[in-house]
Structure 1
Amino acid sequence: MASMVEQTTLDFIERWEGHGDEKQETQCFWIDLLENVLHRPNPTAEVSFEERTAGNGYIDALFPDARFLVEQKSASVDLDKPEMRQGTPVTPAQQAVRYVSGLPFSKKPSVICTCNFKHFRFYDLETDPQAQGTPVDEFDLTELPEHLDTFRQIFSPNHSRIVIQQQLSEKAGLLVANLHNALAKQYVDPDNEASHHALAVLTVRFVFCLYAEDANLFTPNAFTNYVKATDAEHLRRAIVELFEVLDTKESERDPYLERDLRDFPYVNGGLFRGKIEIPQFSEEIRDALINAGENFTWKDISPVIFGSLMEETLSHDQRRQGGMHYTTVKNIHRVIDPLFLDRLKAELASIENDPHLTEIKRKNRLVAYQDKLASLQFLDPACGSGNFLTETFLRLRELENQALADMLNGQGFIDLGGDNSLVKVSIDQMHGIEINDFAVAVAKTALWIAEQQALDDTEIIASQALPHLPLHDSGNIVQANALRYDWNELLPASECNYVMGNPPFVGQYLKSGDQKADLQELMGKDYDGYLDYSTGWHYKAAHYLNEVPGAQFAFVSTNSITQGQPVPALFKPLFGMGWKISFAHQTFSWNAQSTDIAHVHVEIIGMSKGAVSPVLFEYPDITGEPVGRTAQNINGYLIDAPNVFVEKRMKPLPGLAEARFGSKPTDGGHLIINSREEYDEAMADPVASKYVRPFRMGKELINNTDRWCLWLQDATPGEMRRSSFISHRVAAVREFRLSSKKKPTREKAATAWLFDENHQPSVAYLAIPRVFSERREYATCDYYDPSIIAGDKVYTCSDPYGFNFAIIESSMFMTWQKAIGGRLGISCSFSNTVVWNNLPLLQVSEELRQKVIAAGKAVLEARANYQGQSLADLYDPAYMPIDLRKAHIALDKVVDLAFGASKPCATNEERLQILFNNYAEMTKNEK
């Protein structure tokens, strides 16, 4: 019996046997292959059909990320027979190679395929650049099942352009790190502010020289040969002289300059301007420079990825303190695509595909489009190594190059310079603010390298050389504290189109004193102590662009800013100014382009004014790909629902009992008995044994593990004095509290045998864990006898009839919890004031109330079938017992009705809509 993969492949072969019209069927053939044989999730996004080359050719199918090109022929065409193309007889393979030579570097493939529907041939251009040798694979359509690995290798992540660039950049990063570390050893004090800056500048100067000699900005190998010609003892002086030459126009140089220096061009751009502290060089430094020059091709690096890796030379501690985490190319596009890039691509496509345009009108529109690209101004006010700006510049230049190819139509370009310059998009359109001087230097260098690579691509399109040097003076990246600096000094708001970036990830409780002061100074009365540091960028961008028609901004932020108390503090002022969320990515797992991976979960929020059709990107699996959909409105919780703000409420809305904190020890652990050994010791003491009670925090509640405490509410002074176990522990609690910086805690030292706060119920109670896994579909709550002491990681609720238990165990509650409650990492954080007290339960009839209670009891009965199993076991989504799941489904049906649903909800999205509508209705008369 054939497997599913085998069967879909056989079906494909059957569909296409006897077919083969190049003009009519090429696209259908390859989309069918990708979708139904290779099972690619979004095949149309991977391939470009009829891609125009600089030589005015049209590529049948180009897969830029997979680095794969297809030259498709009709079934009647012999793949070995030359055909006349542009006056020359060429085989399909030779034609494909010709197309490759007309592609910009950013789109060049490493594998080509010639195909006539009946037969496939594959050539590896890395080992056979002209495709003149034996194909690396060749087979008929009927043999496809035995050759699927060829396609799998081509479309595997390890073969993708971005992964190859990542690998190259990682290798480059190691070379730079070795060089940087060798240089740092020679400084008297590399951590001194001036020396640290000099070390940063010296490192990026070397990187640019290594790039320049590989990219033909210098004579090939000029820099490496210059280093090799000088011994370590004299290398410092030689480097100082080289930097002076690179910063001096040829017309102003010493006419008697030695030839090894005279051949270097004038670079400009400010990179080599000014003297910096340069230490004596060692053999290790000289060897590191030569190794970097001889064993790596620098022109192939991705400046976006490499810029991030350059910052690896910063210490991890310094990065953590600043909250800096790097953005992958994929995540950059999750910001810039919906912010502006998707629209720019669609606009160009509409010009290219408009059948009603004459050639003159099409060219005029393309010229206007190019001018539009060149007019856009971008600001990243937390730019780090400049990867947002660099990727934006590269993509704008890619669009410009595509427009140029359409305009030139393979004819080349003659008139250069002045206002008629072929290239109009400039790195001058990119503006950045960054507090770290090393990152500023890296960002400028990354933009310069990106500019050179884009020019290389344009040269292929224009069929002639373009001027690469001198560089622009990249003064648009400034070193400053972005929350204190006036962004208008760098780029007046009236000239700015888009603000974007990845502000520092510093949570509300991790902010330094200076960072808190930054937010207080910026927000004034709007500052809320619960706000993360990154919210300062949202707030400042909104005020900066407030009077600019059409301006938009978007930032990556930790997901905590759209949960709990921070939501009204941040979004009330912004929505009050007229800003709306135009697109948003709900929580997804962050993976940074760095060896110091940030273990956080983030969201992306884009904001604009005026009429918007908001797009909400949801993640069925937070580690996977997003699914976008148009929403009616995206509120501050990143939910498609009305703009309501769920703020602290000290009493629950009608219908629910009050939930209270458990008891808080504040004891340094001395009233708590954590192990079986400690428990046995306490039980051996005749006095202490009377006062040992089971103790539960959230962890013990969920995992059904044992823990105990000394509950000495009724113990007499004499008993406590006579018990060595109790007296030693009470003394330790007293010492711990007296050492506290908090006056109320020190005062509690007088009653060191008691818990700091006693909220223990006197009757059986519902215990609610303060933190529980977001993976679970239902909350993990349970009933406890009053002899079990609830700690402060547990909330308690009086629930004699079981109504509150039924409500909190429903999908309706869990949906509200995940939308409104805060999170600790990927765990839900329950609170009484924000989550429970605001749960918008409508007035329930007595009949429906009894049905809810009965359904809740059925859940408890299902649990009782699994004695000894913890709630963690029972509520693991992968192993939840069938009868327990059925009981919860039945519970959901009646609870949905209790919240006002006309019938049981099919999805949690339906529940969210009901919850927010209920909340808006129940609180509409409140201030």
Structure 2
Amino acid sequence: MTTKKQIREFIDRWDGQGHEKQETQKFWLDLMQNVLGMTNAIHNTEFEHKTASGGFIDVLCPDARFLVEQKSAGVDLDKKEPRQEGQVTPVEQALRYADNLPFSLKPSVICTCNFQRFRFYDLEKDPRATSSPVADFTLRELGDHIDTLTSVFDTGNSRIVAERQLSEKAGILVANLHNAIAAQYADPDALGSHHSLAVLTVRFVFCLYAEDAGLFPQSAFSRYIESFDAARLRRGVIDLFATLNTKPEERDRYLEPELARFPYVNGGLFAEDIEIPRFTDPIRDSLLAAGDGFDWHRISPVIFGSLMEETLSHDQRRKGGMHYTTVRNIHKVIDPLFLDGLKTELEQIEESRDLMNDRAWRRKLGQYQDKLASLQFLDPACGSGNFLTETFLRLRELENQAIADRLHGQGYIDLGGENSLVKVSIDQFHGIEINDFAVSVAKTALWIAEQQALDDTEDIAGQTLPHLPLHDSGNIIQANALRCDWNKLLPADQCNYVMGNPPFIGHQQRTEQIKRDMELVCGKAGGSLDYVAGWYYRAIDYLKDNPTAEFAFVSTNSITQGQQVAPLFGHIGERGWHIRFAHRTFMWDAQTTDNANVHVVIVGFSRNKEKPVLYSYADIKAEPAESRPEHVNGYLLAAPDVFVTARSQKKGTLSPMLNLANFGSMPLDNGNLLIETPEGHAEAMADPIVAKYVHPFRMGKELINNKERWCLWLADAEPGDMRKSKFISRRVAACREYRENATKTGDAYKNRSTPWLFRDNHQPAHNYLAIPAFFSGRREYATCDWYGPEIIAGNKIYTCDDPDGFNFAVMESAMFMTWQKAIGGRLKSDPGFSNTVVWNNLPLPQLSDELRQKVIDAGRGVIDARAGHEGQSLADLYDPDFMPADLRKAHQRLDKVVDAAFGARKPCANNEERLQVLFDRYVEMTEKIHAPRFSAGVQGQDA
């Protein structure tokens, strides 16, 4: 939030000064970062952006749709200055720059500024800025007009939001049309009908786009539809599709004028013979509504592709693990994978202009174009084609920039063939998708993207270029990517980049087909890996003989946690691949209304030895911080390739200092042995027999939130007591019925003969340390507690023998929580405790009696601090925003002692330092157990 102090300090810094060339960037970044609070301003702002005419825009914010023409302090903003085009004022110059930008970069607001005065023009209301500015104020008046600037950068007015809103409206129009047509199929869910429905829908979408984009004569499609009533419309549509698929020279010479006016489209879009049902008034009305008053030319093919798939049901998406990637998240993959490098290469070419003659420089630009046109991309889980479409648009944007440099304001004559102005083609983009509707959408999205990119090229070249016929591209195929041969679509030796967003399906959602797929691709490891891992296995097998190719996928963060890391990243590393870049866990934001509530990582791989880039998120919704460590391992940590695998309870922990932890007891009773409410508890306690067997019962939620819950613990109950008590006998009978009717192979059925008992009895006979199965990802410390044996630990709690409090002290340290978050699994963003992976592998060395006692004493300090806040739950005490000062100090004292116990030479300044200590200790301790050390890393095994 902007404060008066920030505004005043900014005014004082810039009052009476400002030089256009030297200080424009500093001025606007100061304003955006320190006054408007835009922490990511440097990444969202372009300075000295080159236009097609060869000019340079002082400040361009593409997402905010904002352009600034900056002048030095003292320059009159009404005065004309000489330019190549003649004498122009600053606002006229800004308009000329805007006119020479592609549609995707055109501003909606322009500003002229001389450091001491700001003038804003709204091009949506006044496209040629002929009226007075909507805001005109001095630097000293900034505080009174700060709303003008905040509204310009409001996310609600951003280009992405505007494109999304437009595409959402288009999605609704298409969904209405799709649903109206689907209702007319005899069996719309039959494979053939479903495919025909998909193709028919995207054909109509392309026709709507074509008439607004000028590919068809103006309003030709809408007027053609309007000329038929519903009864005759089906035949009219069939005739239109046949015409669009026929070359002019092959058409009937007596073809009706209303059909003859349509061009030949090709591309295979209208070639297939599909099932077209009878049309109704709702279908006709939906078609006309979609074409009336809506500009299809302006939709984003990337966003619209996602929204088109909104016609799929929620269950279909969930079953297929489909979640759609936002443009922003697509760039988290493609930017570090290849786009940043291509941008840098073009910038270096542009900067070299003064170092070589004009012909050589233009030749270099031509070679750059050839390079762009040579790249081949594969998305083996392409969905609606978002990755392919966005990549195509960005490559064409780079190509258009290179074209503008080559032409430099000169005209161009398209000679065709190898001399064609445009060389990047949708034929470079290949996709595999199991859903036929998505395949149709992906193809159409690429065709629309191709047309929009040509529009931008026309603006640069200053003349019309051929848009039709479409490329007849068969590069998007319907297939199961884990079973088909990717080489048949794109030979591996021709592929440069594999990328995408494979399905998110965890173990619980596995079908028999998925299990077979994983066994086929991953072998024995397939049983322990998430479905997405299959794409990693296929990618490295596909690219095994192509040493320069690279790949990157969006995945659930589960592949970088717990027991999945060793089989997946061990397999990848053994085949010579290493992590070139990675985004650690962040919140997924999908573009569909069915927003996927998952947390993801992005990992990119290469066989080229270069320093990796690691993007870390202080908060899962925040902007990432970038670092370049020497190495990134499978846990996405700047650490060696150490794989921490399960260490069994029977063989003990890695550290001799720690006691074993065990699961609590699982009721498996359908709630019949549990007492959930105060009313139920009162009823139970009113029966003197029942009262003997009622115990407090705790799962993780009860432990952390200090909630009451009870159970019937009948492990020592006599048969006579259970028979006499109606309360007990009724509950036991209900539990018996549940277990007898359960699946014959399950644990419930196996325990049907003892329905008064929990499935298992892991209850300690003495005081124990209670550990929740999951910790909140926000908390800095674990939320453990000590319980007496009378409190029954459920299966969402682990128990640990801890007579003197040493294990409690270790577990309540920042060192433990750092280890837990690094190598433990997660439920969404919450770290999951594991006795075999997390606790049994905690690398705590042997301690002296003196140091061990110091750890215990510091742990007791934490208990004492908690006791000073009677009635507060652990959730209250460990909320990082409200953690009591005395409790935090107690933990900090504990951290100093535990840091030393793990071998830190001095108290760790942060958890990254602790992580380094932990992995160093782990390597040392496993080397003593397992020799020799692996050259690629260390594999932790059962001791």
Aligned to 2:935: none
Query: Separation in 2 of the partners of 1:440 and 1:641?
Result: 41
Please say if residues 54 and 405 of structure 2, whose CA atoms lie closer than 8 Å, have aligned partners that are also in contact.
no
Aligned to 2:345: 347
Question: What is the CA-CA distance between 1:359 and the residue it aligns to?
Answer: 2.5
Q: Tell me the amino acid that sits aligned with residue 749 of structure 1.
A: R
Aligned to 1:303: 301
Query: Separation in 1 of the partners of 2:721 and 2:136?
Result: 90
Please say if residues 385 and 442 of structure 2, whose CA atoms lie closer than 8 Å, have aligned partners that are also in contact.
yes
Indicate yes or no: 2:641 matched with 1:639.
no
Please say if residues 635 and 644 of structure 1, whose CA atoms lie closer than 8 Å, have aligned partners that are also in contact.
yes
Q: Tell me the amino acid that sits aligned with residue 484 of structure 2.
A: Y
Query: Separation in 1 of the partners of 2:838 and 2:3?
Result: 47
Query: Separation in 2 of the partners of 1:574 and 1:542?
Result: 7
Aligned to 1:429: 428
Please say if residues 326 and 593 of structure 1, whose CA atoms lie closer than 8 Å, have aligned partners that are also in contact.
yes
Query: Separation in 1 of the partners of 2:53 and 2:570?
Result: 55
Query: Separation in 2 of the partners of 1:729 and 1:337?
Result: 60
Aligned to 1:852: 855
Indicate yes or no: 2:403 matched with 1:404.
yes
Aligned to 2:626: 628
1:661-810 equivalent positions in 2, closer than 5 A: 661-740=663-742, 741-742=744-745, 745-810=748-813
Greater mean deviation of Cα atoms: 472-481 or 110-119: 110-119
Map Cα deviations across residues 716-756 of structure 1 (whole Å, 9 max, x no partner).
22222222222222222222222232266434322222222
Please say if residues 383 and 438 of structure 2, whose CA atoms lie closer than 8 Å, have aligned partners that are also in contact.
yes
* Closer/same/farther in 2, CA of residues 44 and 761 from structure 1, 3 Å limit: closer
Please say if residues 663 and 762 of structure 2, whose CA atoms lie closer than 8 Å, have aligned partners that are also in contact.
yes
Greater mean deviation of Cα atoms: 439-448 or 869-878: 869-878
1:145-544 equivalent positions in 2, closer than 5 A: 145-354=143-352, 355-527=354-526, 529-544=527-542
* Closer/same/farther in 2, CA of residues 262 and 732 from structure 1, 3 Å limit: same
Question: What is the CA-CA distance between 1:607 and the residue it aligns to?
Answer: 0.9
* Closer/same/farther in 2, CA of residues 400 and 260 from structure 1, 3 Å limit: same
Question: What is the CA-CA distance between 1:533 and the residue it aligns to?
Answer: 0.8
Indicate yes or no: 2:916 matched with 1:918.
no
Query: Separation in 2 of the partners of 1:75 and 1:669?
Result: 76
Map Cα deviations across residues 117-153 of structure 1 (whole Å, 9 max, x no partner).
3332222112211111121111223222222211111
Question: What is the CA-CA distance between 1:904 and the residue it aligns to?
Answer: 0.8
Q: Tell me the amino acid that sits aligned with residue 62 of structure 1.
A: L
Please say if residues 770 and 831 of structure 1, whose CA atoms lie closer than 8 Å, have aligned partners that are also in contact.
yes
Q: Tell me the amino acid that sits aligned with residue 865 of structure 1.
A: G
Greater mean deviation of Cα atoms: 4-13 or 53-62: 4-13
Query: Separation in 2 of the partners of 1:66 and 1:688?
Result: 68
Greater mean deviation of Cα atoms: 268-277 or 441-450: 268-277
Query: Separation in 1 of the partners of 2:4 and 2:692?
Result: 71
Question: What is the CA-CA distance between 1:367 and the residue it aligns to?
Answer: 1.3
Indicate yes or no: 2:818 matched with 1:815.
yes
Please say if residues 670 and 733 of structure 1, whose CA atoms lie closer than 8 Å, have aligned partners that are also in contact.
yes
Aligned to 1:128: 126
Please say if residues 2 and 35 of structure 2, whose CA atoms lie closer than 8 Å, have aligned partners that are also in contact.
no
Query: Separation in 1 of the partners of 2:907 and 2:280?
Result: 75
1:827-846 equivalent positions in 2, closer than 5 A: 827-846=830-849
- TM-score normalized by the length of structure 1: 0.97
Query: Separation in 2 of the partners of 1:491 and 1:100?
Result: 40
Secondary structure of 1:238's aligned partner: helix
Aligned to 1:38: 36
Query: Separation in 1 of the partners of 2:440 and 2:707?
Result: 54
* Closer/same/farther in 2, CA of residues 874 and 266 from structure 1, 3 Å limit: same
* Closer/same/farther in 2, CA of residues 837 and 356 from structure 1, 3 Å limit: same
Query: Separation in 2 of the partners of 1:50 and 1:711?
Result: 74
Query: Separation in 2 of the partners of 1:40 and 1:389?
Result: 30
Question: What is the CA-CA distance between 1:410 and the residue it aligns to?
Answer: 1.0
Please say if residues 739 and 752 of structure 2, whose CA atoms lie closer than 8 Å, have aligned partners that are also in contact.
yes
* Closer/same/farther in 2, CA of residues 716 and 258 from structure 1, 3 Å limit: same
* Closer/same/farther in 2, CA of residues 73 and 691 from structure 1, 3 Å limit: closer
Secondary structure of 1:12's aligned partner: helix
Greater mean deviation of Cα atoms: 7-16 or 297-306: 7-16
* Closer/same/farther in 2, CA of residues 743 and 75 from structure 1, 3 Å limit: closer
Aligned to 2:615: 617
Map Cα deviations across residues 315-362 of structure 1 (whole Å, 9 max, x no partner).
111111000000000000011111111111111111112353332332
Secondary structure of 2:771's aligned partner: strand
Q: Tell me the amino acid that sits aligned with residue 402 of structure 2.
A: A
Q: Tell me the amino acid that sits aligned with residue 681 of structure 1.
A: E
Question: What is the CA-CA distance between 1:179 and the residue it aligns to?
Answer: 0.8
Question: What is the CA-CA distance between 1:265 and the residue it aligns to?
Answer: 0.3
Query: Separation in 1 of the partners of 2:137 and 2:823?
Result: 57
Question: What is the CA-CA distance between 1:252 and the residue it aligns to?
Answer: 0.5
Question: What is the CA-CA distance between 1:159 and the residue it aligns to?
Answer: 1.8
Query: Separation in 1 of the partners of 2:749 and 2:662?
Result: 24
Please say if residues 720 and 726 of structure 1, whose CA atoms lie closer than 8 Å, have aligned partners that are also in contact.
yes
Q: Tell me the amino acid that sits aligned with residue 616 of structure 2.
A: E
Greater mean deviation of Cα atoms: 90-99 or 25-34: 25-34
Greater mean deviation of Cα atoms: 250-259 or 126-135: 126-135
Query: Separation in 2 of the partners of 1:32 and 1:91?
Result: 26
* Closer/same/farther in 2, CA of residues 313 and 85 from structure 1, 3 Å limit: same
Aligned to 2:99: 101
Query: Separation in 1 of the partners of 2:356 and 2:36?
Result: 38
* Closer/same/farther in 2, CA of residues 39 and 705 from structure 1, 3 Å limit: closer
Greater mean deviation of Cα atoms: 165-174 or 21-30: 21-30
* Closer/same/farther in 2, CA of residues 456 and 575 from structure 1, 3 Å limit: same
Query: Separation in 2 of the partners of 1:552 and 1:424?
Result: 23
* Closer/same/farther in 2, CA of residues 76 and 700 from structure 1, 3 Å limit: closer
Please say if residues 658 and 807 of structure 2, whose CA atoms lie closer than 8 Å, have aligned partners that are also in contact.
yes
* Closer/same/farther in 2, CA of residues 140 and 681 from structure 1, 3 Å limit: closer
Secondary structure of 1:474's aligned partner: coil
Question: What is the CA-CA distance between 1:183 and the residue it aligns to?
Answer: 0.9
Query: Separation in 1 of the partners of 2:666 and 2:94?
Result: 74
Map Cα deviations across residues 408-456 of structure 1 (whole Å, 9 max, x no partner).
1111212430101111111111000000000000000000000001011
Runs (5+) with no aligned partner, structure 2: 931-940
Greater mean deviation of Cα atoms: 201-210 or 647-656: 647-656
Please say if residues 665 and 795 of structure 2, whose CA atoms lie closer than 8 Å, have aligned partners that are also in contact.
yes
Query: Separation in 2 of the partners of 1:540 and 1:677?
Result: 57
* Closer/same/farther in 2, CA of residues 219 and 655 from structure 1, 3 Å limit: same
Query: Separation in 1 of the partners of 2:357 and 2:594?
Result: 54
Aligned to 1:18: 16
Query: Separation in 2 of the partners of 1:194 and 1:896?
Result: 65
Query: Separation in 1 of the partners of 2:394 and 2:445?
Result: 14
Question: What is the CA-CA distance between 1:185 and the residue it aligns to?
Answer: 1.4
Please say if residues 526 and 573 of structure 1, whose CA atoms lie closer than 8 Å, have aligned partners that are also in contact.
no
Please say if residues 564 and 822 of structure 1, whose CA atoms lie closer than 8 Å, have aligned partners that are also in contact.
yes
Question: What is the CA-CA distance between 1:677 and the residue it aligns to?
Answer: 2.0
Moved over 4 A (4+): none
Please say if residues 121 and 135 of structure 1, whose CA atoms lie closer than 8 Å, have aligned partners that are also in contact.
yes
Aligned to 2:114: 116
Aligned to 1:905: 908
Q: Tell me the amino acid that sits aligned with residue 250 of structure 2.
A: E
* Closer/same/farther in 2, CA of residues 473 and 630 from structure 1, 3 Å limit: same
